[in-house]
Amino acid sequence: MDVNGNTSSLTYTGSQGMHEVTYRLEDFASNKSDVSGPYSFGFDTVLPVIKLDSNQSFDIIGPVVTISGTVTDNASGIKNVQIKYGANGTWKNVSGQPSSGTLDGSWSQNIAQDVAEGYNNFFVRTTDVAGNVSQVVTFTLRTDKTPPETVGLLVEGQKGPGDAYRGKVTFIGEAEDSVAGVKSIFVDLGLGNGEKPESDSVAAGYSGVVTACVRAVDNVGNSTECISQDPVTVDNEKPYPTDYTRLDPAVVYKGSDLFSVTGADDLSGMYSASILLDSTPFTAMGKSVSVELGALGNGTHTISFVLTDNAGNVYDSKDDPNVGIITFKVDSEPPAVVLSKPEDGEYVNQSVTAEGTASDNIGLAKIEYLIDGSRTAEETLSGKDASFSKELDTTGLPDVTHTVSVIVTDKAGNQSDPVWKSFIVDHTPPSCHIEVYGTRGDGGSFRGQVTLKAVCIDDGSGVDETYINTGDGRVPSETVIPDGFTGSVSPLVAGIDNAGNDSGDLEGDMILMPDGTPISTILVDNTPPVVTGYYEPSSKWLNIETLDLFVTGHDNEGPLYSGTIILNGKANDIRTESDRADLTADIPEGISSLKYYVTDLAGNRSEIIGK
C-alpha cells in the first residue's frame, strides 16, 4: 500500500460479495505493529429490485387506496422505498417499508385523495444500503372522487292502469357509475325498516304512499347520499260509489232519462267508471259516467256498474248486497195524439172546444191544453187509449186568429209533439135591420100584405141566423103581415153569427124601406075610409059663375091622405077638408056628372059617391 505520512491507503478491487481485511503497521526501523482485524466488508454493485403487488394491477383509485409491493437486494439490503407523484414531484419515503438492511421485504403506501381527479402518474424506487438505486417503476392510476352518477328505482308488482300498484310491491335500487363501477346499492322505503341491500318490499295488504330513497357506493368507495325517489302509491283498497241514480222498478222511465254513478278512491284516485246496461258497457275515464236509459231501446233492462281505481282495484255493484243488479223499464215512445176539434179556421166566441183522442203503448198520464203556446189547463188521463174534450175560455182573447194545441204525457214522462188547430175569435155580433116589402100609400102607411125581412151583416165569422120578432117571439128570417090587418107594428130584429154572437132583439131605426129610408114603426091600414061630406047641386040645372066643390071623409086610423072629385070622368084631388076645387071652367053647357071618394094614408079608397 502507499504510505503518505502517517496515512496509508490501498485501492482494492474485489468480486461481488464479502471480504476480510487486516491491518499492521511497520515503521522505517522495521518495527511492526500488532495485526488488527480481520475486518469484514463487502462489495455490492447490483441494483436492488422494487415491484408492485400483482393485486395492484387496477388503475382506478378512490378516496384512499393502499399501494403495496416488494423489494429485494442480494447484498447490502434495502435502505428505503420512495414514491413520487408526477414527473416533477418530490420523492418521499413510503410510510410502510422494511427495516434498513432487509434483503427481502414488503412495502405499502396509502395514497390520499389529494391528487387531481383523472389519470395521474406515480413513480416508486428503492435504494439499498450500498447506495444502489433501483430502476424506477412507473404506474398510472385513474383517480375517482365522484360517487355513482345516477341512482334510480325499479318497481316490480301489479301496476294499475293509472300508475299505482296493488298486491305485493318490490322496490329495487338501480345505479350507474361509468368510472369505477357500482359496488353496492341500498334501498330505504322510509317505513322505519332502515336500509336494505339491493331491494325491499311491502306486503300485499299494504296501502299507502312509498317514498323510497336509494344510496349507491362505487368500487372505490365513493358513496351517494340516500336520494329520494318519486313517490309510489300502493293501493290495495277498492274504490266505492259516492252517488248513483236510484231506480224504482215500479216506474217506467223515458229513454232520455240518465243513469249516473260517481265513485271515489281515497288513495290512488279513480281511473274509470263503467255502466253495464244489459251487459253492454258504457265507460268514461275519471270518477263519473252517465248513460241514457233508452240506449238499448224500450222494454225491461238490467243495470250494474263497475268502478276502477288507478291501482286496478275494482268495485262491482253486482257484488254489493246493498246495490246488486238493478232492473228497470224504459219507454222512449211518446203518445200518439189526434186533435179533431176545432176545425181549422173555426170561428168561436166565448170558448173553443179542444177534442180528440190519445193513445200510448205503456199508459197515459196527463194532457195539457195550450192557447197560443201558453198553458191554460191540464187534465189527468188514464189507460192506453183515451178521449178528451175541453172547453177553453176565449173571452179575453182579441178578435184575431189563434191556435189551440194539446201535449200528452205518458207514464214514462214522454211528451207528444204539440198537436194544434187554428181558430178565429169573434166577439162582435152582427149588425141587423129590417127591410119592408109591400104596397105603401103616399102617406107612408101600407095596405094589403106586408112582408118583413131580417137583414144582418157580420164582417167576422159571418151570419148564421136572422130573426124577426113582431111581439110573439122570434121567427126566422122574415114574416108576413096578412091582408086585412090594420094597425101599427114595431118589429124587432136579431142576428146570430157563426161564432154564436147574438145581436139581441134590436129596435129603433133598424127598419129600412126598400129605398133605404129608416122608419121606426110600420103602419098597416087595410080599412077604407068613408065619405062624410061633399058638394051636392041644389037643382038639376045651375047658372053660376063659380062652383066650389069639396068632399070630406073619415078614416079610423088617422087623417085622410086626399079627397077626389070626378067631374065628367076627370079626377081632381084635394088634400085637405078645407080645400075647395073651382071647376067652373071645366063645366060645359049641358048635363055634367059629379062623383066623390076619399083616400087614406095607406091608399085605401072609400066608396064612390055621386052620379
Domain check: are 266 and 347 in the same one? no
pLDDT tens column, 552-565: 888 888 788 888 88
Q: Cell numbers for 527, please give them.
A: 080599412
The confidence score (pLDDT) of residue 420 equals: 96
Domain check: are 420 and 438 in the same one? no
User: For residues 603 and 438, what is the distance between their CA atoms, to the nearest angstrom?
Assistant: 12
pLDDT category, 513, cuts 50, 70, 90? confident
Domain check: are 123 and 208 in the same one? no
Report whether the peptide linkage leading into residue 98 is cis, meaning its omega lies within 30 degrees of zero: no
Q: List the Cα angle 552/554/555 in 5-degree steps.
A: 140
The confidence score (pLDDT) of residue 506 equals: 81
User: For residues 560 and 601, what is the distance between their CA atoms, to the nearest angstrom?
Assistant: 6
Q: Under a CB-based contact definition with an 8 Å cutoff, are residues 544 and 556 in contact? A: no
Of the residues 288, 313, 331, the one at which a domain ends: 331
Q: Cell numbers for 507, please give them.
A: 129596435
Domain check: are 410 and 348 in the same one? yes
Longest Cα pair distance anywhere in the chain, in angstroms?
264
**pLDDT greater than 70 at residue 59:** no
pLDDT category, 279, cuts 50, 70, 90? very high
Domain check: are 136 and 171 in the same one? no
User: For residues 598 and 528, what is the distance between their CA atoms, to the nearest angstrom?
Assistant: 9
pLDDT tens column, 10-55: 666 667 777 777 878 777 788 888 888 787 777 788 999 999 986 5
Q: Under a CB-based contact definition with an 8 Å cutoff, are residues 156 and 170 in contact? A: yes
Q: Cell numbers for 458, please give them.
A: 157580420
Q: Under a CB-based contact definition with an 8 Å cutoff, are residues 338 and 419 in contact? A: yes
Burial class of residue 272 (count of CB atoms within 10 Å of its CB; 0-12, 13-18, 19+) = buried
**pLDDT greater than 90 at residue 211:** yes
Of the residues 425, 446, 470, the one at which a domain ends: 425
The confidence score (pLDDT) of residue 12 equals: 66
The confidence score (pLDDT) of residue 510 equals: 65
**pLDDT greater than 60 at residue 524:** yes
Domain check: are 39 and 61 in the same one? no
The confidence score (pLDDT) of residue 8 equals: 67
Phi (first) and psi of residue 586, to 5 degrees? -90, -5
Stretch 517-532: mean pLDDT: 86
The confidence score (pLDDT) of residue 144 equals: 85
Residue 584, helix vs strand vs coil: helix
Q: Cell numbers for 425, please give them.
A: 175569435
Domain check: are 104 and 54 in the same one? yes
Q: Tell me the residue type at 524.
A: V
Q: Tell me the residue type at 114.
A: D
| Report for 43-47, 53-57, 307-311, 460-464: range of highest mean pLDDT | 307-311
Q: Under a CB-based contact definition with an 8 Å cutoff, are residues 471 and 449 in contact? A: no
Alpha-carbon torsion angle 206, 211, 213, 214, nearest 10? 60
pLDDT category, 484, cuts 50, 70, 90? confident
The confidence score (pLDDT) of residue 213 equals: 97
Nearest to 307 by CA among 362, 242, 226: 242
CB hemisphere CA count around 26 (13 angstroms): 6
pLDDT tens column, 172-197: 999 999 988 999 999 999 999 999 99
Nearest to 358 by CA among 339, 374, 371, 344: 339
CATH classification at residue 324? 2.60.40.10
Q: Under a CB-based contact definition with an 8 Å cutoff, are residues 73 and 100 in contact? A: no
Phi (first) and psi of residue 53, to 5 degrees? -60, 150
**pLDDT greater than 80 at residue 516:** no
pLDDT tens column, 69-81: 999 998 889 999 9
Three-class secondary structure assignment of 283-329: EEECCEEEEEHHHHCCEEEEEEEEEEECCCCEEEHHHCCCCCCEEEE
Q: For residue 385, what are the domain limits? A: 336-425
Three-class secondary structure assignment of 138-173: EEEEEECCCCCCEEEEEEEEEECCCCCEEEEEEEEE
Domain check: are 58 and 139 in the same one? yes
Question: Structurally, how many domains does the chain consist of?
Answer: 7
The confidence score (pLDDT) of residue 55 equals: 52
Report the chain's C-alpha Rg in angstroms.
73
Burial class of residue 175 (count of CB atoms within 10 Å of its CB; 0-12, 13-18, 19+) = buried
User: For residues 212 and 156, what is the distance between their CA atoms, to the nearest angstrom?
Assistant: 14
The confidence score (pLDDT) of residue 56 equals: 54
Residue 112, helix vs strand vs coil: strand
Task: Quickly list DSSP for 488-542.
Answer: EE--EEEEEETT--B---B-STTEE-TTS-EES-EEE--S--EEEEE---SSSS-
Q: Cell numbers for 227, please give them.
A: 336520494
**pLDDT greater than 90 at residue 584:** no
Q: Under a CB-based contact definition with an 8 Å cutoff, are residues 452 and 468 in contact? A: yes
> Given CA atoms 582, 587, 591, 593 in this order, what sign does their dihedral have?
negative
Stretch 533-542: mean pLDDT: 78
CATH classification at residue 191? 2.60.40.650
Mean pLDDT of the chain: 89
Stretch 456-472: mean pLDDT: 91
Stretch 583-601: mean pLDDT: 82
Stretch 449-470: mean pLDDT: 92
Distance of CA 481 to the CA centre of its chain: 80
CATH classification at residue 560? 2.60.40
Q: Cell numbers for 132, please give them.
A: 444502489
Of the residues 425, 448, 474, the one at which a domain ends: 425
Domain check: are 94 and 39 in the same one? no
Please give the DSSP secondary-structure letter assigned to residue 34: P
- pLDDT over 90, % of the chain: 59
User: For residues 459 and 461, what is the distance between their CA atoms, to the nearest angstrom?
Assistant: 7
pLDDT category, 119, cuts 50, 70, 90? confident
Domain check: are 356 and 391 in the same one? yes
**pLDDT greater than 60 at residue 2:** no
Domain check: are 350 and 413 in the same one? yes
Phi (first) and psi of residue 295, to 5 degrees? -60, -25
Q: Under a CB-based contact definition with an 8 Å cutoff, are residues 553 and 532 in contact? A: yes
pLDDT category, 576, cuts 50, 70, 90? low
Among 49-63, 410-424, 440-454, the range scoring the smallest mean pLDDT is 49-63
User: For residues 357 and 338, what is the distance between their CA atoms, to the nearest angstrom?
Assistant: 5
Given phi > 0 = left and psi -120 to 50 = alpha, else beta, which region is 16? beta
Domain check: are 540 and 520 in the same one? no
Nearest to 551 by CA among 528, 529, 569: 529
